[in-house]
Chains A and B, each alone.
Chain A
Amino acid sequence: MIKLEKVTKVYTTDAGSFTALQETDLHIRKGEFVAIMGPSGSGKSTLLQLLGGLDLPTSGSIRIGDTLLQTLNEKERTLFRRTKVGFVFQNYQLLPMMTVAENIALALAANKTPKNEIQQTVARLIREVNLEGKASSYPSQLSGGQQQRVAIARALAMKPALILADEPTGNLDRKNGEDVLRLLSRLQREEQITVVMVTHDRNAAESADRIITLQDGAIVRQAEWEGAGLR
């Protein structure tokens, strides 16, 4: 479903140029849960941003489903993100002046979805992430775990094929973190959504089907679960 071929990303700064990813090849199957690990500066976030169409590679190609990302212009990539990709951030990034229901409906509203359809979708997602009774609450009234579940519900609103999660458990305690990971795993299994998660947490990574380790902009190791262990 996701295919990266010889993808390179070079950033140019005042201090000179810096290669965040070098000639990376990667194939992720539909419905697979992949964790990306590595030290700071290894290129994890860059990889996630490229997969989400937030940025374009300096060279190489990225194909998601039937779509070749670098052939899309900026607006097309935005619309692609809206309908095909869901983002989950470490800091949740909820809009503080909107309720839980309104935050979940953000992409639907941007897409001019009819009101009744929005209401039905939001109600379903609230049930799915176990936040019944919280629809009218504001983010400041929720715990970290609850806020992250809102963020996940928001990411699912447009029924994306791909969820990109950047340190989704980074700001959560162990229990809440486990809850979030269980939710992501369930969605991946039940809805066949491909999940790519960047994480520092080894325990979190073990929820994934495959762990990819990056170092200095290159994939240095890939390990899949086989039986009870990683191979």
Chain B
Amino acid sequence: MNLLSVAWRNLMRRKLRTVLTMLSIIIGVASTFAVVASVDTAKKTFPLYLENILGKSDFMILGTEAYFSEDVHDTVQAMDGVASVAVLKESTKLVMEAEGTTEIQKRVDLTGYSDLDTALTDFKVVEGSLTEGGAVITDRTANVWKTKVGDTISLETDHGIQEIQISAIVKYTVELMGPSSWMMAKYHPWSVVVPLSDLQSWFDLSGQIQVIQVKALNGSEKEAAQRQLDALADTQDNIYMQPVIIDFETQFKDVDTFFMALYIAGFLGIALSAFVIFNSLYVSIQERKKEFAAMKTIGYTPNQLRTFVLYEVLLLSVIGTVVGLTVGYGLALLLKAVIFMLFGIHEAATIELTKGLVIAAAAGAIIPVLAALYPIRKAGKVSVIDSLKEIQTEKTSLRHWQWAAGVLLILSGFFIKNLFLVVPLLIGVALLYPYLFRLFVTALKPVYRALFRFSGEVAGRNLSRNLGRTSMTSVILCMGIAMIVLMSSLNSALIQTYERMIFSTYGGNLDVMLHHVEPDDIAKLKATEGVADAVTYPKQDIVWLVDGQKRKLPVYGVGAEWIDRFPLFTGTTGASQGEIIEQLAPNEIVLDRVSFQLWGGTVGEYIQLDTLNGMQPFKVAGIVDTMKNNGFGAFMNIEHFRESFGVKYERNALVLKEEDISPLQLRENIFGQFGSRIMEMFGPEDWVSVIGSVYTGSFGVINFLIILSTVISGIGITNTLLMNIMERIRELGMMRAVGVTRGQIVRTVLLEGFGIGLTATVIGSLFGILLIYITSTFLEIQSLTFQFGVSGTIMTIIVIFGLAVSLISSFLPASRAAKTQLSEALRYE
């Protein structure tokens, strides 16, 4: 006898049930594969990407003033073992006819390179050539401008309008970041690269540059290169050298928390499919009791009977896994693209499949077998006499250990300060669920009776039958609902917390970044219509030593007399911002909470910062909270800042607006004053929007995976109702025979399915609120905690979703029940 063939035929006896069970395995395997593969790819690619965009150079020569002499570059070029490129940046405006666009949308950041075709720029040419001496734009920009190689663009310069031919179109890159449409150009300027000499002549900056990027030709000669550059900086008092630091942890803060949440969401699918498999197999064994009994009378041993069932499970798992891996591959590609987009990674990385494939295949093979162990065991234990005499086996009552274990596991969740607390909590709720389900149904019955009369009465009674199977089906949806409640509420709470912090530490209504601030700029700014007050501040990315490693720390120079009006941080000791800054000695600094935690020291200890005089110790005088620079930085008294780091010019101005002017009008007015000198202009609402979209996008991905798992619960409800109908087919026939209409039967089945879903949605929502409460006691993202709170809108949407899933899942079984052939039903065996 071919066991596989027998197993296949047994599965085909209940085609729909087999398809639904297999579908749950497919979804579970696909989501597991997709999550592991995409996260693996991200973990491998993100550091490489950062290395790629930031690691093109090893060192930078910068000036203490806005510009320094190009002669320095000549000296660097003459050094052994290094490659270098000189860079100059200016802002200007495009002269182009584009319908419906304003002047602000034509801002252009021009970058002049002494050499366009170098490993230090590493432009990937799509069309044209980098050596022709013309302008270089990205493919994204060319698409929006509708220009090609050979076309001419016009730019406003100090010497009037200058025309330059486009000599190359390159692949979009971080150095040439620009908007993707004219609409987005309201917020971001375009980027164009030109030869350095052209830029110098257009803006009367002949022989002047701003940055020299340097790379050691050989990795082993990096130290030698650094020594040469240090020596050069020592000979000139208007330049300094900074090593290029690739700080992955700072750049991708909290990415691990996101990945952990993704893993949980991804594995939820395969875990929930285990419930569906258990239910399906269990009922199948019950239905075939007489067959097993008959086989035993022929002489089959219990193990032989178990083997029959095991082959069915193996067939289900193998087919489900193969299809699931195929679907999972597509899902992995999609997920990878979304994750990369969320983190702003523009990299066509190949997807890392191996680990995901192994884990998903193992899960697809093992979990169905584990889930089926109990039913398989039962198949071997069928009693011949009881089955042939149709003696009903005793109903199993709820076990007390189950109740106790469930409570203990839920309580344990209060002590786990980690997102993995959801695992024992979910298991605890699963164990307690039959009790909760029974309680809820008891309360539901009178409501059903009152609202739906006959159909409600019968549906209410049916919900109490097969309690084990029905509650197990319901718990799947319950878990999905709880996770969605948690993630949606986390998303909303985090964004609200961010919003509050961003607005309270932005330093005003607008932060304007100019190429460099000139002496009369502040007066001009204050005189601009709509500006109530303005102040400039210096900011520099300083190299600091953390555990012997060089990292970058943004340091802000802050004035004690204006910081209270333009708060860039909030204190943690009750003192005002002005008091905190006033009390700082020349070698003292305050760190924000994130950088403080990263450092790992205590208040009063010293950190090492790279100054004009090399690495110097600075005492950490206190901790503050800020969302400036995405919540990572340090603050010093502005006078001490200038002394320590020698930076003589500022680029940023904080602006407070008058009450009766809108943020957009303010920007227009300021742009009208300063035009193309403005490099960036952002308000707190822009950051809220960026942060909001990143977090909403991240949680959206997680919620998508959880919703996919919830589809499994819908499959479970359909499967269970179909099994219930199959078992009660004679009852259905009898009811139709005594005059119950098809419509009443349909309503009964729909109400039964709805009841399963309603119970799950209510209990799941309450469970989700518990999860929100527990996570609010420990979860920190970017050192921000969030307050416990439940949004009515979110809960309403989730409840509607849960009820919709249960109702939709009930349509097919209800339709089946209504179509029952009476004559067959009454003779059904």
Contact = CB atoms under 8 A, between A and B. Distances in A.
A110 B744 contact: yes
16 contacts: A46-B823, A49-B822, A49-B823, A54-B737, A55-B822, A75-B741, A78-B739, A78-B740, A78-B742, A89-B734, A89-B826, A93-B731, A93-B733, A96-B465, A110-B735, A112-B454
Contacts of B465: 96-97
A112 B737 contact: no
A83 interface: yes
A112 B731 contact: no
Nearest to A157: B738
Interface stretch (B148-156, B456-464, B473-481, B490-498): B456-464
A230 interface: no
Given A87-B738, A97-B464, A110 B730 contact: no
Interface in B181-214: none
Given A81-B737, A109-B454, 20 more contacts: A45-B827, A49-B823, A54-B823, A54-B826, A55-B822, A78-B741, A78-B742, A79-B741, A81-B739, A82-B739, A89-B826, A93-B733, A93-B734, A95-B458, A96-B465, A97-B462, A106-B735, A107-B738, A110-B735, A154-B738
A14 to B, nearest CB: 14
Nearest to B735: A106
A83 B739 CA distance: 8
A166 B454 CA distance: 26
Nearest 6 CB-CB pairings of A with B: A82-B739, A93-B734, A97-B461, A54-B822, A87-B737, A109-B454
Contacts of B457: 109
Interface in A126-160: 154-155, 158
Contacts of B742: 74-75, 78
Contacts of B458: 95
Contacts of A155: 738
Interface string B723-739: 00000001101111111
A52 interface: yes
A12 B742 CA distance: 24
B711 to A, nearest CB: 31
Given A89-B826, A97-B465, A52 B737 contact: yes
A111 B822 CA distance: 20
A109 B826 CA distance: 22
A55 B464 contact: no
B453 interface: yes
Contacts of A79: 739, 741
A96 B727 CA distance: 12
Interface in B701-747: 730-731, 733-744
A98 interface: yes
A213 interface: no
A22 interface: no
A124 to B, nearest CB: 18
B156 to A, nearest CB: 80
A107 B743 CA distance: 14
A25 to B, nearest CB: 22
Which secondary structure dominates chain B's binding surface?
A: helix
Contacts of A110: 454, 735, 738-741, 744
B390 to A, nearest CB: 11
Contact of A78 (B453, B462, B731, B736): B736
Given A97-B461, A98-B461, A112-B454, A107 B731 contact: no
A19 interface: no
Contacts, number: 78
Contacts of A96: 465
Nearest to B453: A112
Nearest to A80: B739
A95 B721 CA distance: 17
B727 to A, nearest CB: 11
B730 A93 contact: yes
Contacts of A45: 823, 827
A93 B733 CA distance: 9
Given A89-B826, A110-B454, A95 B738 contact: no
Contacts of A91: 730
Interface in A27-85: 45-46, 49, 52, 54-55, 74-75, 78-79, 81-83
Nearest to B822: A54
A87 B738 CA distance: 7
B823 A109 contact: no
Contacts of B464: 97
Most chain-A CB neighbours within 10 Å: which of B464, B731, B737, B740? B737
B569 to A, nearest CB: 66
A228 B734 CA distance: 37
Nearest to B460: A97
Contacts of B744: 110
B4 to A, nearest CB: 25
Nearest to B744: A110
Nearest to B455: A110
B735 to A, nearest CB: 7
Nearest to A113: B454
B738 A109 contact: no
Contacts of B737: 52, 54, 81, 87, 89
Nearest to B738: A107
A79 B743 CA distance: 12
Nearest to A74: B742
A131 to B, nearest CB: 18
B719 to A, nearest CB: 21
Nearest to B465: A97
Contacts of B740: 78, 82, 106-107, 110
Contacts of B730: 91, 93
B688 to A, nearest CB: 56
B827 to A, nearest CB: 7
Interface in B784-829: 822-823, 826-827
A110 B738 CA distance: 9
A123 B24 CA distance: 50
A74 B454 CA distance: 20
Nearest to B730: A93
Nearest to B821: A55
A95 B827 contact: no
Contacts of B461: 95, 97-98
B738 A82 contact: yes
A98 B465 CA distance: 11
A49 B736 CA distance: 12
A158 B738 CA distance: 10
Contacts of B454: 109-110, 112
Most chain-A CB neighbours within 10 Å: which of B458, B730, B744? B458
A111 B733 CA distance: 17
Contacts of A166: 826
B829 to A, nearest CB: 11
Nearest to A82: B739
A202 to B, nearest CB: 23
Contacts of A81: 737-739
A56 B742 CA distance: 17
Contacts of A98: 461
Nearest to B826: A89
A109 B453 contact: yes
A168 B739 CA distance: 19
Interface string B436-466: 0000000000000000011001100110110
Contacts of A52: 737
B313 to A, nearest CB: 30
